[in-house]
Structure 1
Amino acid sequence: MAVGRITRPHGVHGEVRVELLTDVPERFEWLDAIYVGEKNPRRTAIEGVRYHQGVVLLRLAGYPTRDEAESLRGQLLQVLEADAVPLEEGEYYLYQLVGLDVFTEAGTHLGRLSEVLETGANNVFVVNGDNGQHLLPDIPDVIKAIDIEHGKMTIHPMPGLIDGLDE
């Protein structure tokens, strides 16, 4: 699971600045190691964590200088699902939603959720189906039920939300 992305080196001692992809930045303090990279992530020990002007700075084993830290620019930082922050009942990780079949309350199949767009106000679910692509806001008025176990999402299609749908 992605928890951050390295944006650039910081200082001359191998620290890197991290763009957070987690709501729990303190997690970096709990971890002994993190997986660096997207396609073939490699386990890398965390040697130091500190905060500077609202940014997480990491020092990773094997990257003691600014030049070596530069090679990490743009790399994804991931944790094993077992190291993820436990969820409350009814909560889910966004990656778990991709692939869900999306139905209206009346049972009309709209398609499959293919992507989650994280915006400032609320997430937007991208659903691709036989009748094209639909963008659904992740708000309680629209998203009525998410059933990860059965691979299903139920929505209330507010008027004007989905072209050509009369329910």
Structure 2
Amino acid sequence: MLEYISIGQIVNTHGIKGEVKVYPLTDDINRFDQVNHVYVEEDNELKVLHVAGVKYIKNMVIIKFIGIDDVNSAEKLRNKYIKVHRKDTVKLPKDTYLICDLIGIEVRTESGEILGKVKDVLRTGSNDVFVVKSDDREILIPGLKSVFKKIDIDNEEIIVELPEGLV
């Protein structure tokens, strides 16, 4: 499992005082209110940035970091992912998982047929859709409780009961 989880991507600067505009990669955009520090990767190392303030404009997060006081300093952060340590992630409700923990897990039917591994999870309005890829095919499986019978992150297996006609 990943030790550091991406919660947003810095997409631009905001203003001239060093603020950055962040595209959130989390279900709850307000989770940034609880963040005191984050990490960004720089020269293959994680650098800690301390948060001075957070505000919201539409579906974006504006963050001011301590020590980033002008647009030129903020510009150097563009396109970097903001990460938090796994211990600092939001506590998830039962039967809810971080997408990064699902990627690469083997998916099989209740009868034991291997369908492939989770390649991606697409966020749609009503329910998530799991992209499951094998050597010869790609299947889109709706993320419904009626379909997913067992998700075992520790043993890296997902058991599904596919709806009639899906495959």
* Correspondence for 1:44: 49
Give, in whole Å, the separation in 2 of the partners of 1:111 and 1:53. 38
Q: Deviations over 1:90-137 (max 9, x none)?
A: 222111111211111222111222222333443222222244222222
SS in structure 1 at match of 2:29:
coil
Give, in whole Å, the separation in 2 of the partners of 1:159 and 1:53. 41
**8 Å CA contact retained: 1:110, 1:131:** no
Cα distance change on mapping 1:56 and 1:119 into 2, 3 Å: same
* Correspondence for 1:13: 17
Q: 1:68 aligns with which of 70, 73, 77?
A: 73
* Correspondence for 2:103: 98
1:147 counterpart letter in structure 2: D
**8 Å CA contact retained: 1:110, 1:130:** no
**8 Å CA contact retained: 1:47, 1:58:** yes
Unaligned runs of 5+ in 1: 163-167
Of residues 11-20 and 128-137 in structure 1, the stretch that sits farther from structure 2 once superposed is 128-137
Give, in whole Å, the separation in 1 of the partners of 2:71 and 2:161. 52
**8 Å CA contact retained: 1:36, 1:42:** yes
Give, in whole Å, the separation in 2 of the partners of 1:131 and 1:74. 34
* Correspondence for 2:94: 89
**8 Å CA contact retained: 1:97, 1:148:** yes
Give, in whole Å, the separation in 1 of the partners of 2:109 and 2:97. 20
Flag the structure with larger Rg: 1
Does residue 145 (structure 1) correspond to residue 155 (structure 2)? The answer is: no
- May I ask how many residue pairs the two structures share in their alignment? 162
RMSD, aligned CA: 2.0
Give the TM-score taking structure 1 as reference length.
0.85
Give, in whole Å, the separation in 2 of the partners of 1:132 and 1:60. 45
Give the TM-score taking structure 2 as reference length.
0.85
Give, in whole Å, the separation in 2 of the partners of 1:41 and 1:96. 20
Give, in whole Å, the separation in 1 of the partners of 2:163 and 2:41. 40
* Correspondence for 1:122: 127
1:11 counterpart letter in structure 2: G
**8 Å CA contact retained: 1:125, 1:138:** yes
1:20 counterpart letter in structure 2: P
Moved over 4 A (4+): none
